[in-house]
């Protein structure tokens, strides 16, 4: 039981140090919809898709992949599913059809 308590404590400590983000939007029925969103930092996304972190930041600056930059911060944040969708569809935040040179493996 002590091991379980220790494991839960370590898990909570790790999870509570991560920021929590919420997206608020209008639902189809006109009511506010609130959902928790998990963002990756550029180094996390780079490690996940095996691309250099500078490349990820460059793509974000050129708006080749969707990103979010909190006000007053120099950190780019990425919602993984949006990045995958943009890479597969070849669309960018500006609506361009320019595509980074990366092929996503089909599931």
Contacts 24+ apart (CB under 8 A), 44-53: 45/78, 45/80, 45/83, 48/80, 49/102, 51/102
pLDDT digits (tens, 9 = 90+) for 65-75: 899 888 888 88
In percent, the amount of the chain with pLDDT more than 70 equals 77
Q: What is the pLDDT of residue 52?
A: 92
> From CA 104, how far away is CA 88, in angstroms rounded?
7
Beta strands 21-26; 40-41: pairing state: unpaired
């Amino acid at each position: 039981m002590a091991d379980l308590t220790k494991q839960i404590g370590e898990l909570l400590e790790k999870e509570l140090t991560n920021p929590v983000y919420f997206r608020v939007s209008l639902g189809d029925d006109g009511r506010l919809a609130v959902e928790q969103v998990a963002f990756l930092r550029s180094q996390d996304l780079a490690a996940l898709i095996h691309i250099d972190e500078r490349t990820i930041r460059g793509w974000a600056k050129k708006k080749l992949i969707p990103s979010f930059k909190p006000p007053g911060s120099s950190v780019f944040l990425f919602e993984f599913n949006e990045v995958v969708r943009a890479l597969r569809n070849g669309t960018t935040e500006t609506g361009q059809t320019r595509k980074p040179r990366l092929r996503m493996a089909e599931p």
